[in-house]
Amino acid sequence: MLFAKCGAMSKLIKKDINVVIIGAGYMAEEYIRVIKSFKNLKTYGIYSRTNSKAKNLSKKYKIKKIFNSIKELRKDKKIDILIISVSAENNNKICKSFLDTKFLILLEKPIGLNIKEATKLINLVKKYKSRAFVALNRRFYDSTLDLKNRIKKNKGNRIIEVFDSQNKDKFKKLKKNKKVINSLMYANSVHLIDYMDVFCRGKLKQIITIKSHKNNPSIVTSKLKFSSGDIAFYHATWNRQSRWKVKVLINKAEYVLQPLETLKCFNTENNKLIFSKTYKSKLKDGLVNMINHLKKEFERKKNDLIKIDKHASTINIINKIYEK
């Protein structure tokens, strides 16, 4: 009898975690590839408004189930995790369709294209007590995690500099939705602004936008002060060519993420390079680590995923900088 019970427990532990992907674009495929690398995660099904794309991915990755509607998806009791990876203008709407379910939800950014959309979603997450998280894969880059680990025991005040760059023309050429193009601070800058939440300690006490052009801004510079004594500077250039960069200055060391997958450290006294490392991955950077934390959340284990309602701090910073 004891042997039988142990056998049943073993089967329970080895049960695949069923993941459904909503979307059939570039990011959706990247998620499928990453899920395939986990032994006990399985892409159980896929749903897309463009059924032909869903069929192509289903055939390519041997996904057995193709859902034909959100209604059908909601009724399936075999689903454990739902990953929503659709076009930026549809994220918010699709996510709302599942907040009252028991699914564990991972929503690609943005959670809204303005403060009003994002706040409504956040309030619904609170209302339904949804297990809904936002996918911020840059904070799960190996380079970001290494930097967090290197500075976590250092008690000195931190100065964080974030260098953002957005080019509307680039997104117009890609034929992105006009609403998305006009809200790139929520749709794309969120990756950079989220780094303030990653590295700045304490509560945000003050934010001053030093220079901002409200109509088609070319330069935006803001200073943020935190209760811990940490200070962050946000610099954004619009409609110009520039590379994303994050700098963390603490005591006599300056850490630089540029590109974000590369971490360098300089001695501020003589500006000499202390170390430099590029973190390479066969799969999309950050997704493997993030999905691992998603798996931990499913198993009710400690993890570093950001719940959608906790993401409100970053959304509020975007709103205060851009007044949008």
Amino acid at 15: K
Instruction: Give Cβ neighbours of residue 38 (< 8 Å, ≥ 6 apart).
Output: 291, 292, 295
221 in Cβ contact with 234 (< 8 Å): yes
Q: Which residues of the chain have pLDDT under 50?
A: 1-12
66-85: burial string, b at 16+ Cβ within 10 Å, e else: bbeeeeebeeeeebbbbbbb
Instruction: Give Cβ neighbours of residue 52 (< 8 Å, ≥ 6 apart).
Output: none
Angle, helices 115-128 vs 312-322, to 10°: value is 160
Question: Any idea what DSSP says for residue 265?
Answer: E
The predicted structure's pLDDT at residue 213: 66
Residue 249 Rama label (left phi>0; alpha psi -120 to 50; beta) = beta
The predicted structure's pLDDT at residue 239: 86
Residue range 255-264, pLDDT digits in tens: 999 999 999 9
The predicted structure's pLDDT at residue 314: 97
Question: Any idea what DSSP says for residue 137?
Answer: G
Residue range 156-189, pLDDT digits in tens: 999 999 999 999 888 888 888 899 999 999 999 9
* H or E segment to which residue 237 belongs: strand 231-238
Q: How far apart are CA 132 and CA 150, in angstroms?
A: 30
Full DSSP string of 153-175 = T--S-EEEEEEEEE-HHHHHHTT
247 in Cβ contact with 235 (< 8 Å): no
> Could you name the CATH architecture of 139-280+308-322?
2-Layer Sandwich (3.30)
Q: Count CA atoms within 13 Å of residue 216 on its CB side.
A: 5
What stretch(es) of the chain map to CATH 3.30.360.10? 139-280+308-322
The predicted structure's pLDDT at residue 12: 47
What stretch(es) of the chain map to CATH 3.40.50.720? 2-137
The domain 2-137 is placed in CATH, from the list 3.40.630.10, 2.60.120.200, 2.30.290.10, 3.40.50.720, at: 3.40.50.720
pTM here is: 0.92
